[in-house]
Amino acid sequence: MEDRGVAALARALQDRRLSSRELTEAALARIGREDTALNAFITVTPELALAAAAAADARLARGEGGPLTGVPIAHKDIFCTRGVATTCASRMLAGFVSPYDAAVVERLAAAGAVCLGKTNMDEFAMGSSNETSFFGPVRNPWDLERSPGGSSGGSAAAVAAGLVPAATGTDTGGSIRQPAALCGITGLKPSYGRVSRYGMIAFASSLDQAGVLAHSAEDTALLLEAMAGFDPRDSTSADMPVPRYTAELGRPLAGRRIGVPPEFFDAGLDADCGARVQEALAVLRGLGAELVEVSLPHLALSVPTYYIVAPAEASSNLARFDGVRFGHRSKAAGSIEELYKRSRQEGFGAEVRRRIMTGTYVLSAGYYDAYYLQAQKVRRLIAGDLRSAFAKVDVIAGPTTPTPAFRLGEKTGDPVQMYLNDIYTIAVNLAGVPGISVPCGFARGLPVGLQLIGPAFGEAAVLNVAHQYQCATDWHRRQPPAQPAGAAR
């Protein structure tokens, strides 16, 4: 199974060349053998998975299955899943079992996908290395001493290592695209509002978006078709039709105008990563696309803007975890005030506490106008830069990350250096537009990602360009080396 993506597995299931039960059993066995080294999963659900596989096989036998029926997947542990622990990789929610399904879980289950379990992540999605998890760091299958990226690092590592053909993730400032790049897979962050956020535990509500990690743009398109669409339970959900993304994949690139911002190729970009991206741009030109220089003059301000807006929203969203109604409750408290303090201190890790405190500060009296309001003004400028660029081009291209995967522990002592890993991805979230990362080569033996950005609700364009690039290259088919038997976390 590890050699085949969603589309190939779907065809094999439809043709009855294999069963969902066989696929599910093989995937569960592989997780059992290999996840000790990766730590990609927090919870594995074999009984639920095998029951779903049996139901999928019955549907297929009746000729009722769709393109995802019987395909094994995993969900990032930020999506509420009925009857299954949903922890956000935090002690604060350790042991919490959701009484309902998130919209993403609901829709993929209705499409017949088989959930194998919940993947590890940065605590409450706050991190760029998957090292803030209460359950320990995830390791990159290309090099177990390196980070898989975050916060959707568990999903990315599971897909890259062949534990599952696809997984869900969330992206607040690059948390799908960055781990996709560092693990050598494809990762899509859709437009804000394209996929319902109902049942997705909030970090920063104006930035969070559910998306997909898979091997190819074709696989990604199949899952997005099932996930996307209006949801009246989510007030930010866009009430507009969902295109058949798979139908647009085959469009030739002749006539496509692809913007290349010089700001993406600054001094902070690793030379080898830059060279691989330039080679990818040459492939796109060879396929008939026209490369056009466009400018994003406020790109350098995206990181400081994000780290005011996102912590402010996190401070508000995480206020509900107080030890009274939700989350971990300290047993050492002697008063209600002490209960609040101890419960939050014990339940939240250092990075989450840092962001809550930052957010509370920028929203406080006397600082709201100086910081939060100014950040929102700059956010509009960044979104305006992208709108101006898309008046000239169909898609924008550049690197996903400034470097290949870094070593675990290398940046944990310097939060600013960690935050700068998202320099090329954050603007996409601030503007609410779609972005995808696809593998485009290697730097010093580690994967490099090409990022493609589209206008709002322009997922079809970025998937088309990504698919055509993948038809001309084989980087997305490369697999990590087999890890030594018994490799430890």
Q: Kindly state the average pLDDT of the residues 355-377.
A: 95
Q: Which pLDDT value is given to residue 484? A: 56
pTM of the model: 0.96
Per-residue pLDDT, averaged over 6-31, amounts to: 96
For the residues 380-384, what does the mean pLDDT come to?
98
117 falls within a domain: yes
Sign of the dihedral through C-alpha 72, 207, 434, 140: negative
Average pLDDT over residues 111-130: 98
164 pLDDT more than 90: yes
Give the mean pLDDT of 174-194: 98
- pLDDT of residue 4 exceeding 90, the answer is no
Domains of the chain: total: 1
Asked if residue 84 is part of any domain, the answer here is yes
In the numeric block, which tokens belong to residue 367? 């600082």
pLDDT at 340: 92
- Domain membership flag for residue 192: yes
- The answer to whether residue 486 scores a pLDDT higher than 90 is no
Rounded average pLDDT over 7-14: 96
> Cβ distance 289 to 259 under 8 Å?
no
Compute the average pLDDT of residues 12-22.
Answer: 96
What are the DSSP E strand ranges found in 265-384? Answer: 290-293
pLDDT at 54 exceeding the cut of 90? yes
Domain carrying residue 196: 6-252
Mean pLDDT, rounded, for 416-431? 94
Confirm whether 400 is domain-assigned: no
Active site residues: 76, 151, 175
Q: Is the pLDDT of residue 489 over 50?
A: no
391 in a structural domain: no
- What does the alpha-carbon distance between residue 325 and residue 269 come to, in Å, rounded to a whole number? 46
Query: 220 near 188, Cβ under 8 Å?
Result: yes
Q: Average pLDDT, whole number, for the chain? A: 96
> What is the per-residue pLDDT across 246-265, written as a single tens digit (0 to 9) for each?
999 999 999 999 999 999 99
d(CA 264, CA 269): 8
The pLDDT of residue 483? 64
Answer yes or no: is 442 within a domain: no
- The whole-number average pLDDT for the span 430-456 is 98
Cα(453)–Cα(463) distance, integer angstroms: 10
CATH number of the domain enclosing 164? 3.90.1300.10
Sheet with 446-453, edge to edge strand ranges: 41-44, 114-119, 72-76, 166-170, 210-214, 186-189, 435-443, 446-453, 395-399, 257-260, 290-293
Q: Which residue, chain included where needed, has tokens 């960690």? A: 418
Task: Report whether pLDDT(362) > 70.
Answer: yes
382 assigned to some structural domain: no
Neighbours of 213 (CB within 10 A): 36
Q: Could you report the per-residue pLDDT of 285-319, keeping only the tens digit for each?
A: 999 999 999 999 999 999 999 999 999 999 999 99
How many degrees, rounded to 5, is the angle at CA 470 between CA 466 and CA 472? 125
Residue 350 vs residues 127, 174, 303, 331, 387: alpha-carbon distances, Å: 11, 21, 20, 20, 37
Instruction: Give the pLDDT score at 250.
Output: 97
Report, as an integer, the average pLDDT of 96-122.
97
Structure confidence at residue 333 as a pLDDT band (50, 70, 90): confident
Is 469 within the bounds of a domain? no
